[in-house]
A and B are shown apart, each in its own frame.
Chain A
């Protein structure tokens, strides 16, 4: 059993401008797989107590997916792990496309960046070595602009760049990392990179990526690829995730105006499908990650406007800056998304911060004219000025730029009651009061309020009227977390989740064929518990306690409107589910 793929770890110290390359053992890959599994495995060896997320001691880890740069579809992905400035706990995110693939073509499985540079730096990684270049001329540039300039200066249009935008430079706690137009979006990894004065990481490599059994890999990949262009992914290919908006609105569970309502009269006006159906009003552009047959990204721009100003219309972005802010103006929402992308801001946290500020302004806790146009729910004109102030950390924007939990503590008064977060990470666009298993997943998630680490809303949505007990819900939440952990270690895009007939069996087959380390379905399934234990151990060292696994106070109050009015999370029931969940995680017998 010898791991076939690139196995080198590059350890970079920005303070001393040194880089050391060493190989990781087979046992590491057999245990951690790759992606998030590997990034967290590496991070666990480096975290021994609380640390300042924006200090030089916070490691920033990049780990390639083990299927990147292979024929496996929807798998050119990598993980980023660090300690989040929003939560003070582990943050592990995913990004994708060419950068992920080229990282492996440089012979690397992972990069660990430590320390802090004396000057703004671009790290250039090539097959032959590493260079530390002056990044001062790139300051203030968006990731897209920085990429363009770096390619020009290198004379290499194929160089792949992971960069931060101005928000990361300024230390906004929810700044993103951007590569190839994709982002590791949540949790503020961009702020960590900015605090290290690291503007960009360029990868340039053309090395071969060895596959243990090319024929077997090709056969399994071909099956998966065929399914990935079938009905299982139609919603991503045909409409994009923006179509979620109409569905959740119809179900009466579209979080609106900072989760004060679950129905939104302006939902139809702001759905991206409206742009798609406009027959000429908007131009629709399609994009996707390298090697992915799904091409899920649907971007829109008013006809006649330059195509480079098109904005992506993912559900979470549209929801956060639309319904969650009470805004029913699609053009304004698309402009706000574009502004977030240019500055390098997570759209979910940005929308949550603005909605939080709107509610604070309503209660006279902040200056309603802080951004110019009045700060109130429904005012589309305030979105871009607020986003620009957050990105520049200016005035009230500087308060919001630390995330809603920290902003609420600074503003005081009733503000903490308006801060919609779990462990400091702002809530995504699903209504936990309508989705009890998802609510449990949000509370227990090691990352905070992440909808992709415990996508337990799936069962809740499929069987909305099913009366499941606490034990079943706890099992569902654990199972959903474990499946996600394996997906994120392999790393496969979750948008092909319906393309597997028997996920663990088929994924184990792929892993074995690509890497040469044979794993069967039970062995693959077992990696999830180990990965979860590692994440929990890191958080415990950082000061996490079980009391942190809770939800914002508003969710214990009833939904105010719509067909689900009156639904709320019962504190005792949540505590009961959490207790069972912990018993299951500990391998204990569960009391009925």
Chain B
């Protein structure tokens, strides 16, 4: 699954996108675990230490505009790990 990265996630990974080896469709808990495995530096910074949530203000939006809570999603949904824009 291709995941687009933005802001701190992109800076930590050093890439604009990463490939996650997950079975599709995937739900959020498995997605978070795969993300943490792919980029261990995300743990505590982007993904909570328990690997069960995003650390605010980071979040996952499908195609940059749909939430992913409680649903299964796949590459075609174009998952994006981004953050809430604010300030400045």
* Contacts from A to B (Cβ < 8 Å): 231-232, 234-236, 238-244, 246-248, 250-252, 273, 276, 296, 314-316, 430, 452, 455, 457-458, 461-466, 494-495, 497-498, 563-564
A-B contact pairs, 16 of them (CB 8 A): A231-B8, A235-B8, A236-B87, A242-B88, A243-B7, A247-B6, A247-B7, A247-B82, A248-B85, A250-B6, A315-B85, A315-B88, A316-B88, A455-B86, A457-B85, A494-B86
Docked pose: A234 CA to B42 CA in angstroms: 12
Find chain B residues with CB under 8 A from A564 CB: 65
Are the CB atoms of A462 and B84 closer together than 8 Å?
A: yes
Tell me the chain B residues, 39-88 only, with Cβ under 8 Å from chain A. Answer: 44-46, 55-59, 61, 63-67, 80, 82-88
Are the CB atoms of B86 and A457 closer together than 8 Å?
A: yes
Contact for A498 among B4, B57, B61, B85, CB less than 8 A: B57
The 9 closest A-B pairs by CB, nearest first: A241-B88, A244-B85, A314-B88, A234-B8, A243-B7, A250-B64, A251-B64, A231-B55, A315-B88
Write the chain B residue with the least CB distance to A434. B65
Find chain B residues with CB under 8 A from A452 CB: 87
Docked pose: A269 CA to B80 CA in angstroms: 20
Are the CB atoms of A461 and B85 closer together than 8 Å?
A: yes
Are the CB atoms of A563 and B63 closer together than 8 Å?
A: yes
Contact for B67 among A314, A457, A466, A495, CB less than 8 A: A466
Docked pose: A273 CA to B10 CA in angstroms: 10
Write the chain B residue with the least CB distance to A460. B84
Find chain A residues with CB under 8 A from B46 CB: 231
Docked pose: A234 CA to B47 CA in angstroms: 13
- Give 9 new A-B contacts, CB below 8 A, not counting A232-B57, A241-B86, A243-B7: A231-B58, A235-B7, A238-B12, A247-B82, A250-B4, A457-B85, A462-B84, A464-B65, A498-B57
Please give the distance in Å from B42's CB to the nearest CB on chain A.
10
Please give the distance in Å from A448's CB to the nearest CB on chain B.
18
Please give the distance in Å from A304's CB to the nearest CB on chain B.
25
Docked pose: A466 CA to B66 CA in angstroms: 9
Find chain A residues with CB under 8 A from B56 CB: 232, 498
Are the CB atoms of A240 and B11 closer together than 8 Å?
A: no
Most buried by A among B4, B55, B63, B64: B64
Find chain A residues with CB under 8 A from B57 CB: 232, 235, 498
Docked pose: A494 CA to B65 CA in angstroms: 24
* Contacts from B to A (Cβ < 8 Å): 4, 6-8, 10-12, 44-46, 55-59, 61, 63-67, 80, 82-88
Find chain B residues with CB under 8 A from A497 CB: 86
Most buried by A among B7, B45, B56, B59: B7
Docked pose: A176 CA to B4 CA in angstroms: 38
Inter-chain CB contacts under 8 Å: number: 94
Docked pose: A449 CA to B60 CA in angstroms: 29
Are the CB atoms of A465 and B67 closer together than 8 Å?
A: yes
Are the CB atoms of A458 and B88 closer together than 8 Å?
A: no
Please give the distance in Å from B76's CB to the nearest CB on chain A.
15
Are the CB atoms of A465 and B65 closer together than 8 Å?
A: yes
Find chain B residues with CB under 8 A from A273 CB: 10
Find chain B residues with CB under 8 A from A244 CB: 85-86, 88
Find chain B residues with CB under 8 A from A462 CB: 59, 84
Find chain A residues with CB under 8 A from B88 CB: 240-242, 244, 296, 314-316
Please give the distance in Å from B13's CB to the nearest CB on chain A.
12
Docked pose: A4 CA to B84 CA in angstroms: 37
Please give the distance in Å from A376's CB to the nearest CB on chain B.
28
Given contacts A231-B55, A248-B85, A250-B80, whether A239 and B45 have CB atoms under 8 Å apart is no
Please give the distance in Å from A526's CB to the nearest CB on chain B.
26
Find chain A residues with CB under 8 A from B11 CB: 238-239, 276
Find chain B residues with CB under 8 A from A238 CB: 7-8, 11-12
Please give the distance in Å from B17's CB to the nearest CB on chain A.
12
Given contacts A235-B7, A239-B11, A246-B6, whether A463 and B67 have CB atoms under 8 Å apart is yes
Find chain B residues with CB under 8 A from A466 CB: 67
Docked pose: A248 CA to B66 CA in angstroms: 14
Find chain B residues with CB under 8 A from A247 CB: 6-7, 64, 82-83, 85
Docked pose: A461 CA to B86 CA in angstroms: 10
Most buried by A among B4, B55, B87: B87
Docked pose: A240 CA to B11 CA in angstroms: 12
Write the chain B residue with the least CB distance to A268. B16
Find chain B residues with CB under 8 A from A458 CB: 84, 86
Are the CB atoms of A464 and B66 closer together than 8 Å?
A: yes
Find chain A residues with CB under 8 A from B6 CB: 243, 246-247, 250
Contact for A563 among B65, B84, B87, CB less than 8 A: B65
Docked pose: A462 CA to B63 CA in angstroms: 13
Most buried by A among B63, B65, B83: B65
Docked pose: A569 CA to B7 CA in angstroms: 29
Docked pose: A455 CA to B63 CA in angstroms: 23
